[in-house]
Amino acid sequence: METEIVPLRKSIVVILSVICVILIYFTLVSAGKVFRSESKLPPRTPVSEQDEYRLVLITQELETPFWVKVSQSAKAEAEKEGASIEVWGSYDKNEEDFLKKIEIAIDSKVDGIIVQGLDTDEFKNLTKIKAAFNGIPIITVANDVPMVDSLRRTYVGSDQYLAGQMIARQLLADMGDSGKVILMGDSRKEYYQQQRLKGIEDILKNHPHIFTKYAETADAREQVIATTQNLMNELPNVDAFIAVNANIAGAMIQEIGRRSRVGPYYIYSFDDSPDATTLLESGNIDGMIGQSPEEMGRISVNRMIQWLSGETVPLNMDGYLTDIRMLRGADRP
């Protein structure tokens, strides 16, 4: 019985060996076909991971000259880097609509959001909680919100504190080291305005013969005019005005001109309002901080892509500061 089992085992081993040889043969043949077909294909064009990046730029001030420059530059940089970018936002600082756009961007699972900072609890909750929970990086542009409050990855824009100092120094050069100065900001008390104001005050406080009066106003035109009236009644011998929020400069100057000639006053502001250039060229503003919106758009997109691709992690939390300069108005009469 045992002698019969031995030949059977040998037969099974032979059959299995033959099967293995056949399988190995067909495997090698198939692999050869794959390699030969790969060698006949044209060279592959490298596809950048950045082709997949979907970015959104969101602002409160669509179609103002300043933000048009930011968005055009951002679009050009995105195209150069192989990413897509959409520009969303609101008109006339519609805060509710602006915040809704941010929420939609987060819900849409975009790869990155570049946004004009808004120093409010609602904005901070969206960026610090909802965007962070969804893993969507935020970069603030032009207007910053402190990183600890917003968890933004970085800021791209002007050094607003330095901008305030530059205006104060220009005022001293024009007016001298004595006089009365009215500083006007809006009642939102946003971070970028706080930084401008601090820069101005840190320079002027070293000049004891300069008296400053700071006042806040809602940014509606009628309220800016009313606030300017009250300030000029309170300080009839005022020598200079600084609009810390550029959007109130036009209404402020209108009221100054209604009461007397604008010429004798020293007036300063910033370039991020729709009528800033007109006010400067007409001689209604003596000096204005010129910023670099094109640079802001380009760098913000570039830094976002560096973050998403892992090329630069982490980004500089202190921000990437763009160029600022003092622009002079028409010669005073």
pLDDT tens-digit readout, 213-263: 999 999 899 999 999 999 999 999 999 999 999 999 999 999 999 888 788
Contact call for residues 329 and 287 (beta carbons, < 8 A): yes
Q: What CATH class is the domain 49-157+293-322?
A: alpha beta
Contact call for residues 184 and 215 (beta carbons, < 8 A): yes
End-to-end CA separation in angstroms for the chain: 128
DSSP conformation letters of 118-145: --SHHHHHIIIIIIHHTT--EEEESS--
Contact call for residues 307 and 138 (beta carbons, < 8 A): no
Contact call for residues 153 and 137 (beta carbons, < 8 A): yes
CATH architecture type of domain 160-290: 3-Layer(aba) Sandwich (3.40)
Over the stretch 263-298, which tens digit does the pLDDT of each residue have? 899 999 999 998 998 999 999 999 999 999 999 999
Residue at token pair 């220009």: 170
How confident is the model at residue 15, as a pLDDT? 60
Name 6's Cβ contacts closer than 8 Å, sequence gap at least 6. none
Over the stretch 139-172, which tens digit does the pLDDT of each residue have? 999 999 999 999 999 999 999 999 999 999 999 9
As a 3-state breakdown, the chain gives helix, strand, coil percent values, each rounded to 5, of 50, 20, 30
Q: How far is CA 71 from CA 41, 58, 158, in A?
A: 41, 9, 16
What is the rounded average pLDDT of the residues 40-67?
69
Give the global pTM.
Answer: 0.82
Name 51's Cβ contacts closer than 8 Å, sequence gap at least 6. 82, 83
Torsion angle (degrees, nearest 10) of CA 290, 93, 155, 130? 180
Taking residue 330's Cβ as centre, other Cβ atoms within 10 Å add up to 12
Question: Beta strand 138-141 with 154-157: parallel, antiparallel or unpaired?
Answer: parallel
Residue 246's nearest CA partner among 327, 154, 150 is: 327
Q: Which residues pair with 321 in a beta bridge?
A: 157
Per domain, the residue ranges of the chain are 49-157+293-322, 160-290
Instruction: Work out the mean pLDDT of the chain and round it to a whole number.
Output: 86
